[in-house]
Amino acid sequence: MVLALIQQHKIKAMKRRNEDAARLEKLKNAKRTSIAIIKMQENQLGKSVLSLQEANEISGTSLSFFDNKSKFRSFLNTIVQSDLFSNAVLVSIMISTLILILENPSYDPHSTFMLTLEILNNLMTLVFILEAVIKIIVYGFIFNGETSYLRNIWNVMDFIIVVTSFLGFFEFAGHTQFIKIMRMLRVLRPLSMVGRNQGMRTVIQSLGQAIPEIANLLLVTVMILILFSILGTIIFQGLFHYCHTENISAVYEVQTKWECLDSGGEWVNHDANFDDVFSGLLTMFEIITTEGWINIMWSGVDATSFDVVPKVNNHVSAGIFFICAMIIGGLFLLNLFVGVVINNFNMEKEKLQRNYLLTPLQIEYCDTMAICYAMKPIAEYVSKGNTFKDYLYYVTISPVFENTISISIVLNTMIMACSWYDEP
């Protein structure tokens, strides 16, 4: 028996070595192919770097006055490309956001605290205006090619914020509502952080790219909700009414709608019901959002018939309808929306990392190499002449032993599940 197990183990080891040799040969071929393609992509990347360096250099004529040889424009371009300039703008955005947090309409506008916040807000506005002016001089306003200031969507948002903040400096007599709107638009300032952070930009871009897929998924979700709404209307139409007896001094035992009204009660309906398809659609939306779906399910379980008061646990099997709606709508469909956004986010990250340029064979090679670097060698068992120890080793690695342990775990779980409260 032991010799047979040892022989079987040797056969498996030989087969595993052959598979490893074949996999290694495949990786070598993939490596040769990858090296040739990577060299070609390095040339393309070198061209991209050169084009990026050219993009950082000033070109054209800005505002029809500053050409690409202007020393003043070159000096401003050096400032814009420096990390100090970017960090200063980020700090200004943070201070402006903090000012918006600290402002309170209930405070005295003439207090020292509010006046200090107003002065700081004006200083931050001047900083943003100065930033926009410098970038417009460096890149041009809109007619200086693709690098123009307003050709960038993030700069357009910054420009709108700057303009609205600048208009807030002026007092327009008789236009207090306009002034309030201009000041209200200051809440857009924190959005300037998005254009300066690559991670935030990736999230926004992934959301934009996911809109078509979200629209298709939304259509499927609405169709499924309509189907559940129609089914719920067929089953529970008019059955969610109950007798409201809180305003009755003496509560009588009522069974029907008419007994309820005769005793002074009110025959009312739940806000979430299935009286028609539209009401059922709203109820289904409430169920998949997990907001109060338990109460809706118990209303369905207690439902009896038309104009009859509900009875506790009258129709327990009705809970299957609500559980299925919750699983399909609340767990499956809503998670699909999250999956679509995450998938687009990963695609945007792949584009930023240039991984989308790799062929499937190259991706497989990179993944395999990453796994190889992360793997740790597994020590193989070496027999030392102890027959009993060898026998135990080959028993523990056999599939029969593993399946036996798995079955034992399942049976143990079932035995523990068979106990209940107040059992004999």
Cα 321 off chain centre by: 29
Residue 390 lies in a domain: no
If asked whether residues 314 and 254 sit together in one domain, one would say yes
pLDDT band at 227 (very low <50, low <70, confident <90, very high): very high
Domain range for 239: 208-346
Closest CA to 352 of 224, 205, 229, 196: 205
Q: How far is CA 303 from CA 117, 233, 279, in A?
A: 60, 13, 17
If asked whether residues 220 and 341 sit together in one domain, one would say yes
More confidently predicted of 378 and 174: 378
If asked whether residues 230 and 331 sit together in one domain, one would say yes
46: pLDDT strictly greater than 70: no
Last residue of a domain, one of 171, 196, 221: 196
Contacts 24+ apart (CB under 8 A), 184-190: 185/161, 186/96, 186/100, 186/121, 186/161, 187/100, 188/157, 188/160, 188/161, 188/164, 189/93, 189/96, 189/97, 189/100, 189/124, 189/128, 189/161, 189/165, 190/93, 190/96, 190/97, 190/100
| Number of structural domains the chain divides into | 2
The confidence score (pLDDT) of residue 166 equals: 79
pLDDT band at 9 (very low <50, low <70, confident <90, very high): low
Residue 378 lies in a domain: no
The confidence score (pLDDT) of residue 114 equals: 85
Lowest-confidence pick of 130-144, 152-166, 376-390:
376-390
The confidence score (pLDDT) of residue 205 equals: 75
Calculate mean pLDDT across residues 156-180: 71
Residue 126 lies in a domain: yes
Closest CA to 329 of 227, 190, 239, 238: 227
Q: CA angle at residue 365 from 344 to 343, to 5 degrees?
A: 10
Lowest-confidence pick of 67-76, 169-178, 189-198:
169-178
Mean per-residue pLDDT over the chain, rounded: 78
pLDDT band at 54 (very low <50, low <70, confident <90, very high): very low
Calculate mean pLDDT across residues 115-131: 87
If asked whether residues 269 and 302 sit together in one domain, one would say yes
The total of other beta-carbon atoms located within 10 Å of residue 310's CB is: 19
Calculate mean pLDDT across residues 208-235: 88
CB 266 within 8 A of CB 243: yes
Residue 159 lies in a domain: yes
Can you give the CATH number for the domain in which 115 is found? 1.20.120.350
The string of pLDDT tens digits covering residues 64-111 is 778 878 888 888 888 888 888 888 888 888 888 888 888 887 888 788
If asked whether residues 223 and 339 sit together in one domain, one would say yes
The overall pTM is greater than 0.85: no
If asked whether residues 152 and 219 sit together in one domain, one would say no
Last residue of a domain, one of 301, 322, 346: 346
The total of other beta-carbon atoms located within 10 Å of residue 181's CB is: 13
318: pLDDT strictly greater than 70: yes
| Alpha helix segments (H runs only) across 241-333 | 257-262, 277-288, 293-302, 319-325
Alpha-carbon gap, residue 381 to 375, rounded angstroms: 18
Alpha-carbon gap, residue 163 to 96, rounded angstroms: 16
Sign of CA dihedral 192, 193, 198, 203: negative
Last residue of a domain, one of 346, 375, 405: 346
If asked whether residues 80 and 179 sit together in one domain, one would say yes
Closest CA to 80 of 151, 147, 161: 147
More confidently predicted of 322 and 254: 322
4: pLDDT strictly greater than 60: no
Residue 305 lies in a domain: yes
Residue 408 lies in a domain: no
If asked whether residues 75 and 189 sit together in one domain, one would say yes
- β-pairing verdict for 266-269 and 241-244: antiparallel
Contacts 24+ apart (CB under 8 A), 177-185: 185/161
If asked whether residues 175 and 216 sit together in one domain, one would say no
Can you give the CATH number for the domain in which 283 is found? 1.10.287
Residue 308 lies in a domain: yes
- The DSSP annotation for 222-249 comes to HHHHHHHHHHHHHHHTT--EEEE-TT-S
Closest CA to 305 of 236, 358, 253: 236
Lowest-confidence pick of 50-54, 194-198, 243-247, 323-327:
50-54
1: pLDDT strictly greater than 60: no
Beta strands in 43-116 (DSSP E): none
Residue 40 lies in a domain: no
Q: Which two tokens stand for residue 218?
A: 């939304």
If asked whether residues 160 and 264 sit together in one domain, one would say no
